[in-house]
Amino acid sequence: MNNIGDIDSMWLLERLKGLDLLRGFGEWWWEGAPSFLVVCGAVLVQNSRWEAVQASLNNLKTAHILSDDDEQSLDNLSKCASIESFITPSGLYRQKSARLIAIARAIVADFGSFGAFRSEVSREWLLAQKGIGKESADSILNYACEREIMVVDRYSYKLLCGLGIEIEEYEELQAWFMDLGDTQRLYGEIKLAKIYARYHGKIVEFSKRKMSLDTLIAH
């Protein structure tokens, strides 16, 4: 088991520090975030593809359940009996429907509004909701609540595995990448929360395309 103190890891870290995360290849995820859509997307994307999630979200918008108005969307969803028929494209639709509605109702019950939820919610509260695990919780905290926490996922894990560094434990993997993201503070005016968001997105985009580390660094 390698760790951040190993020579190979340090070598990698030094090279990745030179990576310009804010330019070149890759897109900003969740343009328009922070939004209640992030909460919905975080659940819908579980074991699914983003393209499928967009189809589900579009169905919910067409049905006038979700819109650009976060408070209205939260209110609408909390009053739904089921959204199964709208979210079939992204799979696991029965449990995702029940869990998303339950989450919306819990937000209303415990915070009263999406705005209050955004500023007051804790990681512990999120993890206590059925259907929200570590990755979904961190996605919501970073993308919807703009907290300084970085999401790690299957791709983050596989990227490091491909380099001979195997870190299975979520928080340990997260700490590894957050150390790296923290070196990007050199971008000054960009908030660290934004840097983490960009970094996670970029890692996924590159990993999906099976690009090498050299390609990642070159872009």
Does 51 help bind DNA (rule: CB under 7 A)?
yes
Alpha carbons within 13 A on the beta-carbon side of 188: 0
Residue 196's nearest CA partner among 5, 30, 8, 24 is 30
Q: Closer CB to DNA, residue 51 or residue 189?
A: 51
- 112-133 as b/e, with b when 16 or more CB fall inside 10 Å? eebeebbeebebebbeebebbe
Does 153 help bind DNA (rule: CB under 7 A)?
yes
Question: Closest distance between DNA and the C-beta of residue 11, in Å?
Answer: 26
Among 35, 65, 76, 96, binds DNA (CB under 7 A): 96
Stretch that binds DNA, among 60-68, 69-77, 152-160, 175-183 (CB under 7 A): 152-160
- The tokens describing 1, both together, are 């088991």
Q: Is the peptide bond before 89 cis (omega within 30 degrees of 0)?
A: no
Q: Binding string to DNA for residues 3 to 42, with x set by CB under 7 A, is what?
A: --------------------------xx----------xx
Residue 105 to residues 63, 83, 97, 130, Cα–Cα distance (Å): 19, 14, 12, 12
- Rounded CA separation 210/136 (Å): 24
Q: Which of residues 105-134 bind DNA (CB under 7 A)?
A: 129-134
- Rounded CA separation 180/17 (Å): 7
Among 75, 80, 91, 111, binds DNA (CB under 7 A): 91
Question: Closest distance between DNA and the C-beta of residue 10, in Å?
Answer: 27
Which residues of this protein are in contact with DNA, per CB under 7 A? 29-30, 41-42, 45-52, 88-96, 129-137, 139, 143, 151, 153-155, 201, 204, 208
